[in-house]
Structure 1
C-alpha cells in the first residue's frame, strides 16, 4: 500500500523548491550534452548535416513523447512521471555517449530517442506541476523555475568547457553529470505532492486572497473550473496563438543551444572552448532575465514583456549574423538570451490559466514549442549545410519578430476581462 505524501509536500513554497531543483538538474543534464557537441562532432568526423541527423534521435523521441504527454502525465501523475523520467534519462544519455565513442552510431541515436522521449514527457510534468505550485503559492514563479533550468544549462556550459580543456572524454563527463542528476531529482521529487489538486485546494484561501490584492495576475486556484470535457486544445485559437509565441522563442533558444557554438567556430574561426563560452553568455543572460521575470511581469504585464523580448532577441540574432567580431558575438548572444528568456515560461503560465484544462493545454503548447525547439534547429542545420550556419539564422530573426505581433494572446485573464 502506498504511503501518503509527507506534510511538507503540501507546502506550496517547498513544492516550488522541489520543482525548481528538478528544473535545474534537468537543465544541467541536457546542457551537458549540448556543451560537448563540438567534441562529439570532431570524434565522429561528422558533417553539419550528419550532426543534425544525430540530433533527430532526440527530436523524434521528444515529439512522440510530447504528443502523448497529456495522457501520460494524467495517467501517472506529475510526481511519478518525474521519478521515472529521471531514472530513464540517467541511463539513456550516458549510454548514448558510450555508444558514439565506440562508433556504434545507430544504437547511440536510439538511446538519444529514448532520452528525448523521457525528457519531453518529464518537461510537461514539471511545467504542469510548476504551474499548479505557482497557483497554490499565489505568486508568479514560472520564470524562476525556468531560470533554474537555464542555471543548470549555464553550469553545464562552464563544466563542458573545463572538460574540453582537460581532455576528459565525453562519456566520462556525461556519466558523472547524470549520476548527480538522478540523485538530486529523486530527492527533490519527494517534495512534490502525490495529489496536486488536494494541495491546491489546501492553499485555495491564500491564493484567492493574494489574487484580490493583485500579487498574481492569474485566476485563483479555487476559480470555477471550465466544464469542457469534449474541448480540444488543438481547436482553441488562444492556445494555438500561445503555442506560436512559445514556438518562436523556443526556436530561438534551441537554435542558440544547438548551433551557436558551431556557427561561431566555423564562421568566425574561433576555438571550440570559446564557442562554448559564448553560448554560456547566452545562458547567463537568459537565466538572469528569468530570475528577474516575476518583477518584470508584475510591473509591465505579459504582453509588453513578450513584445520587448521579441525585439531584443531579433536585434541579438542580427548582430551575431552581421558583425564579424568575437566581442559582437558576445553582445549579440547576450541580447539573444535576454530577448527569448521569458517566452517559454510566460507561455506555460498562460496555457495553465484555466485549471480544469491545464494539463491538456500545457501539453499542447509544449508540443508546439518543442517541435520548434527540436525540429527547427534541424532545419537550420540543413540550411547551414548549403549557405553556412550564420546565414541560416536569418529565418529565425523573422519568426521571432513576428511572435511579438500575437503576444496579446497571452494576456492575463483578469486584464483581458477589462
Structure 2
C-alpha cells in the first residue's frame, strides 16, 4: 500500500533516520495501549464495576479498533502514512485523556467508554499507517526488518507496564498518569513521524481490490479463524491478566501491573528470537510449539496454586502468544498480488476476537471468577492446533531466489 520506490539507491543515512522514526512510532503506540491495560484494575475499582460490566466497557476500545481496521486503509490512502499517523495519534492521546478524566476526576462509565472507543480507533489507524511505512522501509533496505519494529512495540508495552506499576506504587492518580502518557505519546510521535518518506500514497489500481473474492477462499478463511483464536489468546491476557491476579491471588493493583509486564516482556522476547526459529524450522512446527506453550502457560497461571508458579505460567503464556498474530498476517500475504485483500479479510476476522473476548471472559468471570474464566483460552487453542497447517507457505518457484545482503542471515 505504497508508492513504488525510486530506482535510484536511497541515501543510507536517510533510510536510517526513517527506520528510527518508524521504530519510535511503534514503541510509543505500544506505550499508549499498555498504559491503559495496566490501569484496568484501578479503573474497575474507581467505577465500581463487576466482571461482566467491565467486560462490556472493554468492548468499547475493541469496537473502535475494529472500526479502524475497516477504514484505516482508506484513511492512510487519502492522508499518506505520515499524516495518518499524526491524526490517529491525536485521537489516541485524546482518548487517553478522556479515559483518565472519566475514571479519576469525574467518574463516569459512559464517558470512559467514549474515551476507550476513541483510543481504540486511533490505535487501529495508527497501526495500519505505521506498518505501511515499515513495509516500505523493509523494501528499501532489502532484508527483513519488520519483526524488529514489532519487537519495539512490545518493548513499549513493557516500559508502560513498568511505569504504570511505579505510578500505582507512588499513588499517582490514574487521571494524571494517563494524561502525562498522552502528552509524551503525541509529541514524540509527531516528531518521529516527520521522518516518514517511503510509504507515500498508494498507486490506485484500475482493477478491483479483490476483497470479496478473498472472502470466498477457504485457506484465507481458515487462516482468519486461526488468527481469531490466537488474537483471543493475546487479547485475553491484555484485558484480564492483571485483574485475574488481583482477584485470584490477592495481588495489589501495582503487583497486577507487574504481572501484565511479565506477559508482555516474554512476548517481546518471543518476537525477537522467534524469527530465527521460523527461518530454521518453518511456520507449522514453530506455531505448534508456541501454541502448546500458551496452553500450558494459561493452565499453570490458573491452576498453579502459588503466586510464583502462576506468574511463571504467565511468562509461558506470553512466550507462546508471541508469534501467532504476526505469522498469520505473513501467511495471508504469501502471494504479493493478493496480499492486501487477504490481509484485510484476515485482520477483520482476527479483530473479532477483540470484540468478543472482553465480554465473554467477563461474563464467565461473573460465574466462576476471572482467574478460572481464563481457562477458556486453552479450550479454544487445543482444537485450533488442527488449523496450523494452513499457515504453510505455498510452493514457490525456484527461479526467484531470496535476496541476501551482506550481514543478513535469512530471506524474508
Same fold (TM over 0.5): yes
CA distance change for structure 1 residues 191 and 158 in 2, over 3 Å: closer, same or farther? same
What does residue 116 of structure 1 align with?
Answer: 120
Structure 1 unaligned regions, length at least 5:
200-224
Hey, what's the Cα distance between the residues in 2 that align with 1:123 and 1:376? Answer: 20
Hey, what's the Cα distance between the residues in 1 that align with 2:94 and 2:12? Answer: 27
Corresponding position: 1:39 with 2:29: no
Hey, what's the Cα distance between the residues in 2 that align with 1:190 and 1:100? Answer: 33
Structure 2 unaligned regions, length at least 5:
1-5, 400-412
SS at match of 1:253: helix
CA distance change for structure 1 residues 162 and 389 in 2, over 3 Å: closer, same or farther? same
Determine if contact 2:101/2:175 at 8 Å carries over to the other structure: yes
* CA-CA distance at 1:99 after TM superposition: 2.2
Hey, what's the Cα distance between the residues in 2 that align with 1:416 and 1:395? Answer: 41
Q: Which range moved further: 225-234 or 268-277?
A: 225-234
Determine if contact 1:259/1:389 at 8 Å carries over to the other structure: yes
| TM-score, structure 1 as length reference | 0.85
What does residue 217 of structure 1 align with?
Answer: none
SS at match of 1:68: helix
What does residue 187 of structure 2 align with?
Answer: 183
* CA-CA distance at 1:22 after TM superposition: 1.5
| TM-score, structure 2 as length reference | 0.86
SS at match of 1:336: helix
* CA-CA distance at 1:270 after TM superposition: 2.2
What does residue 153 of structure 1 align with?
Answer: 157
Corresponding position: 1:403 with 2:379: no
Hey, what's the Cα distance between the residues in 1 that align with 2:395 and 2:114? Answer: 46
Corresponding position: 1:54 with 2:57: yes
CA distance change for structure 1 residues 398 and 15 in 2, over 3 Å: closer, same or farther? farther
Corresponding position: 1:171 with 2:175: yes
* CA-CA distance at 1:279 after TM superposition: 1.6
Hey, what's the Cα distance between the residues in 2 that align with 1:271 and 1:244? Answer: 36
Corresponding position: 1:371 with 2:352: yes
Hey, what's the Cα distance between the residues in 2 that align with 1:294 and 1:335? Answer: 18
- Root mean square deviation of aligned Cα: 2.8
Q: Which range moved further: 356-365 or 270-279?
A: 356-365
CA distance change for structure 1 residues 287 and 195 in 2, over 3 Å: closer, same or farther? closer
CA distance change for structure 1 residues 133 and 369 in 2, over 3 Å: closer, same or farther? farther
Deviations 1:227-268 (A, max 9, x none): 765452322323222222322222111111111111111112
* CA-CA distance at 1:315 after TM superposition: 0.6
Pairing 1:322-341 to 2, within 5 Å after superposition: 322-341=303-322
What does residue 355 of structure 1 align with?
Answer: 336
